[in-house]
Amino acid sequence: MRLKLLLPSHIMIDEPVQKVIAEGWNGSFCLEPRHVDFVSALKPGLLQFIAKTGEEVFVAVDEGILVKCADEVLISAYNAVRGDNLSTLKDTVEHRFRQLDESERIARSALARLEAGVVRRFTQIHDKF
């Protein structure tokens, strides 16, 4: 079975796997090569898969969708972080969330300044007429 994890900017994972374990809004599920085709909305959480080498891999996944069709599992998500074990994955996710929070704070601040500038300009235009 082939797993592809697609993010908006790139393909994060494209490799053969033995098994995929994911969590949808209705609970966790496991997919193996001979399972029936399947579609599920994924909730933010852990995706686990067993690589062809037998290695167990964990990926923290944001909301997304999973589609199993024949021997291919396609996952499309907004954001994902791959880790070798759960402890390092937890640290990586926390670090990434702190970066996103800071980026969002900066963007909100810039947007507030832009909105204030637009209101000021409209007021100036209104005062002229």
The pLDDT value given to residue 97: 65
The pLDDT value given to residue 101: 64
Span 6-63, pLDDT tens digits: 999 999 999 999 999 999 998 999 999 999 999 999 988 888 999 999 999 999 888 8
Span 56-90, pLDDT tens digits: 999 988 889 999 999 999 999 988 888 777 777 76
Burial of 5 by CB count in 10 Å (0-12 exposed, 13-18 middle, 19+ buried)? Answer: buried
The pLDDT value given to residue 53: 93
User: Confidence band (pLDDT; 50, 70, 90) for 98?
Assistant: low
* Residues 46, 29: Cα–Cα separation, whole Å: 12
CATH domain 2-83 topology: ATP Synthase; domain 1 (2.60.15)
Q: Which two tokens stand for residue 32?
A: 């193996």
CA distances from 58 to 65, 80, 84 (A): 17, 10, 6
